[in-house]
Amino acid sequence: MQTIKNYINGELLEPFGKQYIDNYNPSTGKVYSLIPDSDERDVELATKAALIAFPSWSAMPKDERSRIMVRISELIEKNLDRLAIAESMDNGKPISLAKTVDIPRAASNFYFYATSILHYASESHAMEDTAINYTVRTPVGVAGCISPWNLPLYLFTWKIAPAIASGNCVVAKPSEITPMTAFLLSELCIEAGLPKGVLNIVHGYGHKVGAAITAHPKIPLISFTGGTKTGAEIARVAAPMFKKLSLELGGKNPNIIFADCDFEKTIRTTLQSSFANQGQICLCGSRIFIERSIYEKFKIEFVERVKKLKVGNPADADSKLGAVVSKSHMEKVLSYVDIAKQEGGTVLCGGNQVKLDGEFADGYYIAPTVIEGLTYDCRTNQEEIFGPVVTLMPFDTEEEVLVYANSTQYGLAAILWTENLTRAHRMANNLHSGIVWINCWLLRDLRTPFGGVKSSGVGREGGFEALHFFTEPKNVCIKLK
Ligand code: NDP
């Protein structure tokens, strides 16, 4: 059985306590590797290594840092198949998805920030002929990066890449539920010649390793992606220490479909935005609002196609859904189907665990589920389920659907289908969310600001937003006369 190690000061190390956690393969329900059960001693060692590495890494010319990061990106690409298989085994997602989305994006994250840093300029503000101000941006020091299990390497590298590109050193914790590709990344960083201590990866539980990173006095910046409750706990600990915080949290995104949409495109993309990664993407559109005049037509066509989506072995090329990430998560998702029924919902398809044969008999599979007949303000439509479950609701007017769409505590993303450009702009303006996709979903330009409003988070990732976050601006004012 493979034993994962921490990556500290350029070396692969056992945890201090020599304790390990079982790592499950969700597609079979079997333990297949061991993860370090690290504690604050490992975080301390990692932080010390990062502090020692910081002066030389931050002083290294940008193009040298950039070249090392490009090498990491190339190594991720070179190891695409191996990483995709590992991601699928750890998370349960189809290998085809990991191969086309997760791993290529991890490579792009490194490449994007390796090159962004070469073009990152700071501001200057002239005060006519009195004075000139210029802004110096310096790295903050040691950054703490904590990431979730749904897009493991994708989201882990989305934090690490801008952090180290801008000259910081990092102590990072992947989710203990999906640690494998972060471990493989540490091997690739060694191969790429990343100087020791620049990136340190400490595996283990959130309440031990994550909490130790959050509370560490020498880590002045925390970049976190995960659940809203965990984000609130991190903010509670970090705020009195005046740490810089970036929190990318949960979502309960509306998918709004007007009668004038391109029907075929809408259906095809809605299948994706509902069930990609088993619905475990913070950007999935789990509340589908359909203009009443096409409600029945949409419902019949959508449900028919959902029933055809194959739930199966993640290694099979035709599996559209693999396993959800864990037994407890499967139980949580299915408990929401019960809640929906109690709230008066009708399950149009799915709603049950899927039992596969042979070695997959104990895997955590859920049939893609469509529910109708619920009100917009019931628990099913207000709480984040984070699984392959969507609800359908009719609406009559723009004003009405805006009330429904904006009614949750979340505000991460919204999806809008209409061929009416004026309405599209108007709706985009009035939706309370950090991202609005019109006639598309998950179309990403890495230069754009990424993040949510309300309980979906604080701050933005992406492009220069992330480089701003990982640096501290200093204004220098020179009087001219
Ligand atoms: P969690 O909040 O449970 O965990 C996220 C990370 O935080 C994990 O590494 C976890 O470790 C760690 N953690 C847990 N407790 C603490 C603590 N007290 N202090 C510091 N770190 C801690 O989220 P999930 O992993 O369950 O991920 C799913 C959530 O992530 C969903 O709500 C989803 O919407 C959100 N998400 C948001 C995105 C966005 O960009 N806005 C993108 C993707 C997901 P451990 O695994 O050991 O618990």
Distance 235 CA to ligand 1 centre (A): 13
pLDDT in tens, 134-153: 999 999 999 999 999 999 99
205 lines ligand 1 (CB under 6 A): yes
Ligand 1, atom 12: closest residue by C-alpha: 206
- Which of 146, 221, 386 best tests ligand 1's pocket when mutated (most atoms within 8 Å of CB)? 146
**Among the atoms of ligand 1, which is closest to the Cα of residue 149?**
25
Q: What does the pLDDT look like over 354-406, one tens digit per residue?
A: 999 999 999 999 999 999 999 999 999 999 999 999 999 999 999 999 999 99
Given 87, 145, 176, 248, the catalytic residue = 248
Question: Residue 150: CB within 6 Å of ligand 1?
Answer: yes
Cβ–Cβ < 8 Å for 37, 61: no
Cβ–Cβ < 8 Å for 163, 57: no
| Alpha carbon distance 143, 244 (integer Å) | 9
Determine the pLDDT at residue 1. Answer: 87
CA 102 and chain centroid, separation:
10
Q: Is 279 in the pocket of ligand 1 (CB under 6 A)?
A: no
The CATH fold of domain 2-249+456-479:
Aldehyde Dehydrogenase; Chain A, domain 1 (3.40.605)
Q: Residue for token digits 């628990």? A: 379
List the one residue out of 333, 342, 261, 334 whose CA is nearest residue 301. 261
Residues 228-248 as b/e (b if ≥16 CB within 10 A, e otherwise) read: bebbebbbeebeeeebbbbbb
**Interval between CA 155 and ligand 1 midpoint (Å):** 11
Three-state secondary structure along the chain? CEECCEEECCEEECCCCCCEEEEEECCCCEEEEEEECCCHHHHHHHHHHHHHHHHHHHHCCHHHHHHHHHHHHHHHHHCHHHHHHHHHHHHCCCHHHHHHHHHHHHHHHHHHHHHHHHHCCCCEEEECCCEEEEEEEEECCEEEEECCCCCHHHHHHHHHHHHHHCCCEEEEECCCCCCHHHHHHHHHHHHHCCCCCCEEECCCCHHHHHHHHHHCCCCCEEEEECCHHHHHHHHHHHHHHCCEEEEECCCCCEEEECCCCCHHHHHHHHHHHHHHHHHCCCCCCCEEEEEHHHHHHHHHHHHHHHHHCCECCCCCCCCCECCCCCHHHHHHHHHHHHHHHHCCCEEEECCCEECCCHHHCCCCEECCEEEECCCCCCHHHHCCCCCCEEEEEEECCHHHHHHHHCCCCEECEEEEECCCHHHHHHHHHHCCCCEEEECCCCCCCCCCCECCEECCEECCECHHHHHHHCEEEEEEEEECC
Return the pLDDT at 380: 98
Atom of ligand 1 nearest to the CA of 384: 32
- Binding site membership of 199 for ligand 1 (Cβ less than 6 Å): no
CB 96 less than 6 A from any atom of ligand 1: no
Specify the ligand 1 atom closest to the Cα of 213: 20
Q: Which atom of ligand 1 is nearest to the CA of 233?
A: 18
Q: What is the pLDDT of residue 153?
A: 98
Residue 25's alpha-carbon distances to 20, 89, 100, 139, 182, in angstroms, are 16, 5, 21, 38, 16
**Is 226:245 a contact under the CB 8 Å cutoff?**
no
282 part of the active site: yes
Q: Is 172 in the pocket of ligand 1 (CB under 6 A)?
A: no
**Beta carbon of 249 within 6 Å of any ligand 1 atom:** yes
Q: Which of 145, 169, 282, 284 is catalytic?
A: 282
- CA–centroid distance, 332 to ligand 1, in Å, is 15
Low-confidence ranges of the chain (pLDDT < 50): none
What confidence score (pLDDT) does residue 66 get? 98
Ligand 1 centroid vs 276 CA: distance in angstroms? Answer: 19
- Contact between residue 244 and residue 236 where contact means Cβ atoms under 8 Å apart: no
Segments making up each domain of the chain, as ranges: 2-249+456-479, 253-445
- Of all protein residues, whose CA lies closest to atom 39 belonging to ligand 1? 248
How far is the centre of ligand 1, averaged over its atoms, from the C-alpha of 126 (Å)?
A: 44
- Tell whether the torsion through CA atoms of 64, 66, 70 and 71 is positive or negative: positive
Q: What is the pLDDT of residue 36?
A: 98
CATH 3.40.309.10 fits 253-445, yes or no: yes
Region class of 77: left (phi > 0), else alpha (psi between -120 and 50), else beta: alpha
Residue 96 near residue 317 (C-beta atoms within 8 A):
yes
Residue 248 Cβ < 6 Å to ligand 1: yes
Q: What is the pLDDT of residue 53?
A: 99
CA atoms of 394 and 325, how far apart (whole Å): 31
Which residue's CA lies nearest to atom 22 of ligand 1? 206
Is there an atom of ligand 1 within 6 Å of 384 CB?
Answer: yes
For ligand 1, the distance from its centroid to the CA atom of residue 225, given in whole angstroms, is: 6
Ligand 1 proximity of 234 Cβ (cutoff 6 Å) = yes
Asked if the domains 2-249+456-479 and 253-445 are classified in one and the same CATH topology, the answer is: no
Residue 459: CB within 6 Å of ligand 1? no
List own/partner pairs for 304-310 with CB under 8 A and 24 or more apart. Answer: 305/267, 305/271, 306/271, 306/274, 306/275, 306/349, 306/350, 306/368, 306/370, 307/349, 309/271, 309/275, 309/368
Which among 23, 201, 214, 282 is the best mutation to test ligand 1's pocket, defined by most ligand atoms within 8 Å of the CB? 282
* CB neighbour list of residue 294: distance below 8 Å, 6 or more residues apart: 257, 259, 263
Please work out whether the CB of residue 336 comes within 6 Å of at least one atom of ligand 1.
no
Residue of 193, 191, 213 lying closest to 202 (CA atoms): 213
Long-range contacts of 330-333 (CB under 8 A, 24+ apart): 330/364, 330/365, 330/366, 330/387, 332/385, 332/387, 333/366, 333/385, 333/386, 333/387, 333/388, 333/389
What is the model's pLDDT at position 144? Answer: 98
